[in-house]
Amino acid sequence: SSPRSLPPVCLSRLSAQFCLLPSRAGAAAAMDGHGHGDGRQPMLEKGPPSHRERHFTAGEVVRDVIMGVSDGLTVPFALAAGLSGASAPSSLVLTAGLAEVAAGAISMGLGGYLAAQSEADHYKREMKREQDEIIAVPDTEAAEIGDIMAEYGLEPHEYGPVVEGLRRNPQAWLEFMMRFELGLEKPDPRRALQSALTIALSYIIGGLVPLLPYMFISTVQDAMLTSVGVTLLALLFFGYIKGRFTGNRPFLSAVQTTIIGAVASAAAYGMAKAVQAR
C-alpha cells in the first residue's frame, strides 16, 4: 500500500510560508496526526480499516523532532561553513555556531509557544464573532450553509434539511460554521508547550551535528571538511526520513534537503568571503 501520507507543509521552520498557500494541508496534517481530540475521530472509529489506516500518520512529536533537527542541521551548518571560509579560527566558528543554535532554539521554542497562545485567542475571537452572528443574523448564516453546499452542485431541496437540522442545534451549527465556513479547528493549548520544547530541543541536537567537529579539530579547514561530510550525510538521512513521514518520494526529499543545506552553506561561504575581501 502507498506510504502513509502527511502534507509536507510546515515540516520545517524554513518552509513556514507554506501555511500561507491556499491549502489546508498543514492543518490536515495536524488533524490527521490528532486522531484524538479532533472532530474527525468519530469518523475514524466508524471508518473501515482502509480509512483508519489512511488517516494514521506520524505523531506530532515525531514531526516536531524531524522539523527541529533538519532545521538545526541547515543554518548552523551553513554559518559554520561560511565562517570557516572566512578563515576564522575553529573556536570562533564554534562560538558563532553555538550562539546561533541558542538563538534559533529560543526563537523557535518561545516564538512557537506564543504563537500557540495567539492561535487559541484567535479561535476564541472567531467563535465569539460567529456565535454573535448566528444570534444576530441567523438567516444570513443559514444562507451561508447553503452557499457552501451549492459550491458542490447541491440543490436547495437537497441541502435544505441540513440547514434546518443545523438551525435546530445552534451549538452544532456554530461548530459546523467554524470548521466548514472559517476552516478553523479548536487548538490544543497543552500541545503548544510540548511542541515548542520538542522543536527547540531537536533544533539544538541538529545544530550540534555540524558543530561537533569544530570542538575536536583545531585546524579549521579539517574541521570544516569533517563538518561538511558529516552534515551532508545527516541531511540526506533526515531528508529521507522527512520524505517518509510527509508521504513524498523519500529519495527526492533526501536530495532536496541536502541541496538546500549545500546551497545555503555555499551562500554563507561566499558572503563571508565577500565581507572579508572588503
Of 67-75, 216-224, 226-234, the segment contacting its own copies by CB under 8 A is 67-75
CB of 236 to its own copies, least distance (A): 15
CB of 130 to its own copies, least distance (A): 9
Helix ranges (H only) for the chain are 25-33, 41-46, 49-55, 60-85, 90-136, 138-150, 156-167, 170-176, 189-216, 220-246, 250-277
51 CB-side CA count, 13 A: 9
Of 104-112, 218-226, 227-235, the segment contacting its own copies by CB under 8 A is 104-112
The answer to whether residue 10 forms part of the interface with its own copies (CB under 8 A) is yes
The answer to whether residue 53 forms part of the interface with its own copies (CB under 8 A) is no
CB of 234 to its own copies, least distance (A): 15
The answer to whether residue 206 forms part of the interface with its own copies (CB under 8 A) is no
The answer to whether residue 30 forms part of the interface with its own copies (CB under 8 A) is yes
Site for its own copies in 105-134 (CB under 8 A): 105-108, 110-112, 114-116, 118-119, 121-123, 125-126, 129, 133
The answer to whether residue 19 forms part of the interface with its own copies (CB under 8 A) is yes
Residue among 192 and 220 whose Cβ is closer to its own copies: 192
Binds its own copies (CB under 8 A): choice among 124, 218, 221, 263: 263
The answer to whether residue 223 forms part of the interface with its own copies (CB under 8 A) is no
Find the largest Cα–Cα distance for the chain.
Answer: 78
The answer to whether residue 90 forms part of the interface with its own copies (CB under 8 A) is no
Q: Which residues of 241-275 are buried (b: 16+ CB within 10 A; e: fewer)?
A: bbbbbbbbebeebbbbbbebbbebbeebbeebeee
Rounded-to-integer distance, Cα 147 and Cα 27, Å: 23
**Which one, of 274, 266, 252, 242, lies nearest residue 9 by Cα?**
242
Rounded-to-integer distance, Cα 88 and Cα 85, Å: 7
Rg (CA), the chain: 24
The answer to whether residue 256 forms part of the interface with its own copies (CB under 8 A) is yes
Residues 6+ apart with CB under 8 A from 185: 27, 30, 31, 38, 39, 178, 179
C-alpha cell at 4: 502513509
**Which one, of 209, 186, 212, lies nearest residue 261 by Cα?**
209
Residue among 95 and 131 whose Cβ is closer to its own copies: 95
CB of 42 to its own copies, least distance (A): 5
Residue among 234 and 268 whose Cβ is closer to its own copies: 268
- In the shown chain, the binding pattern of residues 149 to 188 toward its own copies, with x for contact by CB under 8 A and - for none, equals xxxxxxx-xxxxxx-xxx--x--xx-xx--xxxxxxxxxx
Binds its own copies (CB under 8 A): choice among 69, 98, 134, 209: 98
The answer to whether residue 67 forms part of the interface with its own copies (CB under 8 A) is yes
Residue among 140 and 219 whose Cβ is closer to its own copies: 140
CB of 219 to its own copies, least distance (A): 18
